[in-house]
Amino acid sequence: TLHIARPEKGKTLADFQNIYNSIAEKMKSESAYDDGTGYGPVLVRLSWHSSATYDKNDNSGGSYGGTFRFKKEASDVLSKGLENATKFLDPIHSEYPWLSHGDLYTLGGVTALQELGGPKTPWRPGRVDTGPETVPAHGRLPIPEGNASYVRNYYDRFGFNDQEVVALLGAHILGKTHLKNSGYDGPWDDDTNIFSNEFFGNLLERKWTLEKNAASNMQYNAKGGIMMLPTDYALVQDPKYLKYVKKYADDQDAFFSDFRDIYVKLLERGISFDDSIEPLVFKTLKEQLK
């Protein structure tokens, strides 16, 4: 399947910055969500799941068709909790009905990432809504029980290498696991809504104990109530991954720059962008106050 980017006609950086601002303002006014974490993390997760169906072997899935809007896709048990993100974005779509859903879901993630202190992330428009027949069968999302070889094999479907996988999983500094959604319990850090390289610092510096949680799933716990999934912990169990965990724990700038690159790659997987489609760089709300 070829996915050719066709940006919304006649729209400029200013139009997309307006959408960015609407999302960012709504995040601010609804900051009480999830015991004060706010909507940022769940928006980043939605951008991930709406891209995570990608398969390089036939170029199917990915963010292009915006198919997470269909129950058929969103009902995957591994996506529980993401209805909060799509409900958050519904009124944004009503305000800007010309925007495709794939562009909405990916722009939501980019907005959240930047507003939570993450790297400036260039974003390109042009995803086009496709029909329910383009929803891939469930089974393309990762399971948290996996070890390092599971993780490596999983991300090979996207064509991502070890360095890219470690950088990308640094997103698990944001938000938390919820027993009622995934059967895992707790945040990855005390700060659930500040983007940083602390995921790697925590992996290396804390004392982790493998324990059974209230849903009978095994997770790694440390003092202060923070946790790691088995797939997160796999990054320190595998020497090839561990090398990059150490690098990113030591070098926040390297992490920010590598995370930005792999996150952009994830959101654009499978889409052909014409050279004339300029990457857009958005100002944060803070920067616009100056």
Binding site for ligand CCH (CB under 6 A): 41-42, 44-45, 48, 81, 142, 144, 168-169, 171-172, 174-178, 181-182, 184, 229, 231
Q: In the Cβ-directed half-sphere of 55, how many Cα atoms lie within 13 Å?
A: 14
DSSP string for 197-266: SHHHHHHHHS--EEEE-TTS-EEEEETTTEEE-HHHHHHHHSHHHHHHHHHHHH-HHHHHHHHHHHHHHH
Q: Is 262 exposed, middle or buried (0-12, 13-18, 19+ CB in 10 A)?
A: buried
Token pair, residue 12, equals: 């400029």
Question: End-to-end CA distance of the chain, in Å?
Answer: 45
We find the least distance from the C-beta atom of residue 159 to ligand CCH, in angstroms, to be: 14
Other Cβ atoms less than 10 A from the Cβ of 209: the count is 10
Using alpha carbons, list the distances in angstroms from residue 220 to 145, 166, 229.
Answer: 11, 18, 6
Closest residue (Cβ) to ligand CCH?
175
DSSP secondary-structure letter at 135?
P
Is position 123 annotated as part of the catalytic site? Answer: no
* Nearest one of 95, 87, 108, 238 to 169, comparing CA atoms: 238
- Which position among 49, 93, 101, 172 bears the catalytic label? 49
Distances from the Cα of 87 to the Cα of 99, 112, 118, 204, 227, angstroms: 16, 15, 24, 36, 27
> Angle between the 198-205 and 239-250 helix axes, to the nearest 10 degrees?
120
For residue 92, give the H/E element and its range.
Answer: helix 83-95
Q: Judged by CB, which is closer to ligand CCH: 27, or 42?
A: 42
Q: Is 97 exposed, middle or buried (0-12, 13-18, 19+ CB in 10 A)?
A: exposed
To the query of whether residue 172 is one of the catalytic residues in this protein, the response is no
Q: Which is nearer to ligand CCH, 10 or 36 (CB)?
A: 36
The residue among 1 and 147 lying less far from ligand CCH, judged by its C-beta, is 147
Shortest Å, Cβ 113 to ligand CCH: 9
Q: Which of 48, 101, 123, 188 is catalytic?
A: 188
Of residues 184 and 255, the one with the C-beta less far from ligand CCH: 184
Please identify, using beta-carbon distances, which residue of 50 and 231 lies nearer to ligand CCH.
231
Q: Which is nearer to ligand CCH, 216 or 276 (CB)?
A: 216
Q: Which residue has the tokens 């799509």?
A: 86
Active site residues: 49, 188
